[in-house]
């Protein structure tokens, strides 16, 4: 997910290249010979899985990449795209499974390309990223082991960026009214009309009001950092060491995707976002938070103030995902399948959180997380 740096969500110009055009673009900009290409799902950019052939001695070898064509709005901010790409390169060098760019023929990490004809011509930023192996976590049954590992991964990622990443353009991650920054839940007031007159509208209104009253006045009590901002189950790739049952499967993270929602935020934002997305496909969603939190706190223990905000932050991220998807669906009805991934069960989970109540949910999460900590000290 991306876009929406301004207070108003823009009517985005999502790229709409045909496969033949994507092949020509890859060969012209990157100087590679494409042997296979297929479209990949995306929110507001356009992605292709590209296989290229190259000579190694006398043999033909194949390499896989993702051709990423950024929407026209975000393409107007090359500084932000560059720092996101530099972060991916930095994390890869630090041992994280993140993609790195293949350089253009001119030796650059990205290229601004004019695509279209006549008055329909628009400029799009284009990158070619290494293709990461693995299966999206959304396609795998989760268990406590992988939930813990994802919490740990989220904390490690935020900490290493905050402590070791330096770049002149890092200031561009202060994204103001970026709709996907968790601090901007109150901006949903402008888009809640997309829900119509439904019970969901009332729930989101409650979230927004409580967020204004309980979260915004306390942001200064949270520890700041750089957030990935979108560690959802489609942006995490895994491989699995099969066991006799899914509950005993041992997963290993092989890829972290989509750095387009990166911004300055807070450690507690990252763990809240991870908890929310890990709840989506879980058969026992209320239990998820404790395992993710335990992994996160094994690296970055939360303060009492941060723990106290977690319930509303998770609810806020549900609201962001659901309201923005409903709004974007009105703009791009042809992208319904991808846009409604979260909505299929997300509303049920958000309503359940409020029906069960903050006190009970926190008890489940914190007792689970504290049990991990006690076991580690034993």
pLDDT at 327 (0 to 100):
87
Alpha-carbon span 47 to 375, nearest angstrom: 44
Q: What Cα–Cα distance (Å) separates residue 357 from each residue in 261, 363, 367?
A: 29, 10, 16
Alpha-carbon span 318 to 249, nearest angstrom: 28
Label each residue of the chain as H, E or C.
CCCCCCCCCCCCCCCCCCHHHHHHHHHHHHCCEEEEEEEECCCCCEEEEEEEEEEECCEEEEEEEEEEECCCCHHHCHHHHHHHHHHHHHHHHCCCCECCECCCCCCCCCEEEEECCHHHCEEEEEEEEECCCCEEHHHCCCCHHHHHHHHHHHHHHHHHHHHHCCCCCHHHHCCCCCCCCHHHHHHHHHCHHHHCCCHHHHHHHHHHHHHHHHHHHHHHHCCEEEECCCCCCCCEEEEEECCCCHHHCEEEEEEECCCCCCEEEEHHHHHHHHHHHHHCCCCCHHHHHHHHHHHHHCCCCCCHHHHHHHHHHHHHHHHHHHHHHHHHHHHCHHHHHHHCCCHHHHHHHHHHHHHHCHHHHHHHHHHHHHHHHHHHHC
Is the per-residue pLDDT at 240 higher than 80? no
Q: Which residues are catalytic?
A: 230
- Portions of the chain given CATH number 3.90.1200.10: 135-377
The CATH architecture one would assign to domain 135-377 is Alpha-Beta Complex (3.90)
Q: pTM (2 decimals)?
A: 0.92
pLDDT at 8 (0 to 100):
46
Q: 150-176, pLDDT tens digit by residue?
A: 999 999 999 999 999 999 999 999 999
The residue-averaged pLDDT of 16-21 equals: 93
pLDDT at 242 (0 to 100):
63
Token look-up 């740096």 returns 5
The residue-averaged pLDDT of 223-228 equals: 98
Is the per-residue pLDDT at 1 higher than 60? no
How crowded is the C-beta side of 46, counted as CA atoms within 13 Å? 21
pLDDT at 6 (0 to 100):
44
- Portions of the chain given CATH number 3.30.200.20: 2-130
How crowded is the C-beta side of 128, counted as CA atoms within 13 Å? 25
Q: For residue 90, what pLDDT band results from cuts at 50, 70 and 90?
A: very high
Q: 202-221, pLDDT tens digit by residue?
A: 999 999 999 999 999 999 99
Region of poorest pLDDT, from 59-73, 113-127, 144-158, 238-252? 238-252
pLDDT at 7 (0 to 100):
39
> Helix 304-331 vs helix 358-377: angle between axes, to the nearest 10 degrees?
120
pLDDT at 233 (0 to 100):
93
pLDDT at 62 (0 to 100):
74
Is the per-residue pLDDT at 309 higher than 90? yes
pLDDT at 154 (0 to 100):
98
Q: For residue 243, what pLDDT band results from cuts at 50, 70 and 90?
A: low
Which residues have CB under 8 Å from 35's CB, separation 6+?
A: 51, 52, 53, 62
Q: 318-343, pLDDT tens digit by residue?
A: 999 999 988 888 877 776 666 677 77
Q: How many residues does the chain have?
A: 378
Higher-scoring residue by pLDDT: 119, 63: 63
Q: For residue 53, what pLDDT band results from cuts at 50, 70 and 90?
A: confident
- Contacts by 92-96, CB closer than 8 A, 24 or more apart: 94/160, 94/164, 96/156, 96/157, 96/160, 96/256
Token look-up 């997300």 returns 346
Q: For residue 367, what pLDDT band results from cuts at 50, 70 and 90?
A: very high
The residue-averaged pLDDT of 8-17 equals: 68
Is the per-residue pLDDT at 87 higher than 90? yes
The residue-averaged pLDDT of 346-354 equals: 94
Q: Which two tokens stand for residue 231?
A: 């560690």
Q: What Cα–Cα distance (Å) separates residue 130 from each residue in 50, 52, 98?
A: 10, 11, 9
Main-chain phi, psi angles of 308, to 5 degrees: -65, -20
Q: 110-155, pLDDT tens digit by residue?
A: 999 998 877 778 999 999 999 999 999 999 889 999 999 999 999 9
Question: Taking all residues of the chain, what is their mean pLDDT, rounded to a whole number?
Answer: 91
Q: How many CB atoms lie within 10 A of CB 334?
A: 8
- In CATH terms, the fold of domain 2-130 is Phosphorylase Kinase; domain 1 (3.30.200)
| Paired residues of 209 in beta bridges | none
Q: How many CB atoms lie within 10 A of CB 292?
A: 30
């Amino acid at each position: 997910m991306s876009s929406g740096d301004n207070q108003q969500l823009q009517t985005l110009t999502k790229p709409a290249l045909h496969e033949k055009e994507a092949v020509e673009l890859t060969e012209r900009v990157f100087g590679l010979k494409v042997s296979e290409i297929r479209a990949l799902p995306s929110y507001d950019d356009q992605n292709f899985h590209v296989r290229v052939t190259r000579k190694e001695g006398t043999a033909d070898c194949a390499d896989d990449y993702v051709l990423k064509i950024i929407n026209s709005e975000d393409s107007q901010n090359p500084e932000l795209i560059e720092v996101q790409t530099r972060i991916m390169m930095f994390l890869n060098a630090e041992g994280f499974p993140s993609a790195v760019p293949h350089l253009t023929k001119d030796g650059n990490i990205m290229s601004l390309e004019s695509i279209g004809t006549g008055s329909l011509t628009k400029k799009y930023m284009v990158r070619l990223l290494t293709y990461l192996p693995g299966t999206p976590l959304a396609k795998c049954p989760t268990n406590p082991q992988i939930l813990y590992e994802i919490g740990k991964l989220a904390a490690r990622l935020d900490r290493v960026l905050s402590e070791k990443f330096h770049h002149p353009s890092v200031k561009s991650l202060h994204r103001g009214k970026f709709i996907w920054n968790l601090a901007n839940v109150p901006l949903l007031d402008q888009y809640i009309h997309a829900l119509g007159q439904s019970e969901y509208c009332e729930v989101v209104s409650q979230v927004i009001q409580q967020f204004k009253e309980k979260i915004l006045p306390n942001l200064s009590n949270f520890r700041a950092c750089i957030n990935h901002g979108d560690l959802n189950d489609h942006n995490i790739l895994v491989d699995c060491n099969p066991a006799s049952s899914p509950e005993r499967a041992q997963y290993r993270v092989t890829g972290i995707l989509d750095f387009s929602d990166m911004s300055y935020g807070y450690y507690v934002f990252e763990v809240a976002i991870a908890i929310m997305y890990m709840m989506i496909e879980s058969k026992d969603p209320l239990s998820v938070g404790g395992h993710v939190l335990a992994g996160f706190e094994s690296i970055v223990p939360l303060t009492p103030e941060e723990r106290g905000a977690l319930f509303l932050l998770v609810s806020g991220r549900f609201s962001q995902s659901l309201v923005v998807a409903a709004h974007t669906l009105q703009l791009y009805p042809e992208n319904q399948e991808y846009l409604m991934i979260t909505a299929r069960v997300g509303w049920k989970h958000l309503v359940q959180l409020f029906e069960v109540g903050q006190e009970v949910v926190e008890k489940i999460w914190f007792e689970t997380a504290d049990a991990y900590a006690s076991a580690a000290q034993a």
